[in-house]
């Protein structure tokens, strides 16, 4: 098996794929996938540039169409066709993009703290500038300094209530290649991603939207998304912030078991 893919469970069971967030890896999902692997074939890939998936050229182009081509090819190699798909943050944006472009491959879609993108042009430009500056910071100051700064953002404030988990997340994130992380944050920025809001009404499979009760930004996003996706429901986990599955692993796993 490809070293950039972790799998758990029997390949004869229904496939359940997990896509991690920026700075993460497939193993970020291990605690969630392990109990589910009794009933599902859990597939935990490292997104390009993350974890062990760094064999490509950091100077080569990267966008969501290229990312989806890579993901489709990965599924064909395993091989699996129709999948249950879970995505968090960057992985959630990726999962939604894949589901909108390859709906015939989706059994169900579960999105955690994920957005269909930015519509307002001035906000898109602001985000591009912000992520470009972040990319430069990674290359200038290195991964450890950037990771410390990244997890000081208000978005992750509730992780401070889980110091051991936060420490493990930061340690793992710091092992990423700075060239790749600079590339990913710049070229897969929400500011350059094509917004998917107009595609939401076309999704015909079950969609579950999850956000933490302390994540005000994404609470607003999932309420808006739920109004546009026909076969959808949203779940709010009161005690969590942006990274629900890390902060409330047991509750998140129970949510997946119920949804699936």
**How far is 169 from 181, CA to CA, in rounded Å?**
15
Give the DSSP letter of residue 250. Answer: H
Averaged pLDDT in 10-residue chunks for the chain of 260 residues: 87 97 97 97 97 90 95 95 97 98 97 97 97 98 97 94 96 96 97 97 97 95 96 94 96 94
Q: Are 109 and 225 in contact (CB under 8 A)?
A: no
Arithmetic mean of pLDDT over the chain:
96
Q: Using CB atoms within 10 A of its CB, is residue 73 exposed (0-12), middle (13-18) or buried (19+)?
A: exposed
Query: pTM score, two decimals?
Result: 0.96
Spell out the residues 6+ positions from residue 59 whose beta carbon is closer than 8 angstroms to its own. none
DSSP code, position 2:
-
Q: Which CATH number fits domain 5-119+194-259: 3.20.20.70, 3.30.420.40, 3.40.50.1820, 3.40.50.720?
A: 3.40.50.1820
Pairwise CA distance, residues 188 & 226, whole Å: 24
Question: CA 27, CA 42: separation in Å to the nearest integer?
Answer: 11
**Exposure string over 74-110, b if 16+ CB within 10 A, otherwise e:** bbeebebeebbbbbbbbbbbbbbbbbbeeeebbebbb
Report which of 42, 52, 31 is spatially closest to residue 85, judged by C-alpha positions: 42
List, for residues 30-56, the tens digit of each pLDDT value. 999 999 999 999 999 999 999 999 988
Neighbours of 132 (CB within 10 A): 15
């Amino acid at each position: 098996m490809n070293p950039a893919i972790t799998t758990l469970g029997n390949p004869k069971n229904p496939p359940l794929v997990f896509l991690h967030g920026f700075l993460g890896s497939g193993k970020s999902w291990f605690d969630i996938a392990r109990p589910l692997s009794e009933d599902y074939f859990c597939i935990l890939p490292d997104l390009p540039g993350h974890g062990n998936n760094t064999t490509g050229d950091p100077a080569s182009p990267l966008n969501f169409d290229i990312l989806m081509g890579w993901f489709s090819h990965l599924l064909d190699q395993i091989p699996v066709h129709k999948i249950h798909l879970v995505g968090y943050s960057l992985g959630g944006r990726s999962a939604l993009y894949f589901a909108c472009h390859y709906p015939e491959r989706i059994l169900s879609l579960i999105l955690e703290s994920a957005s269909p993108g930015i519509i307002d042009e001035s906000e898109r430009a602001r985000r591009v500038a912000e992520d470009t500056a972040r990319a430069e910071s990674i290359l200038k100051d290195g991964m450890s300094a950037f990771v410390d700064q990244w997890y000081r953002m208000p978005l992750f404030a509730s992780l401070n209530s889980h110091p051991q988990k936060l420490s493990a997340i930061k340690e793992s994130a710091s092992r990423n290649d700075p060239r790749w992380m600079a590339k990913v944050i710049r070229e897969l920025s929400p500011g350059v991603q094509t917004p998917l809001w107009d595609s939401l009404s076309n999704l015909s499979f079950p969609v579950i939207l999850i956000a933490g009760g302390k994540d005000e930004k994404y609470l607003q996003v999932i309420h808006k998304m739920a109004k546009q996706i026909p076969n959808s429901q949203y779940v709010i986990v009161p005690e969590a912030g942006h990274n629900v599955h890390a902060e409330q692993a047991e509750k998140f796993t129970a949510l997946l078991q119920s949804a699936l």
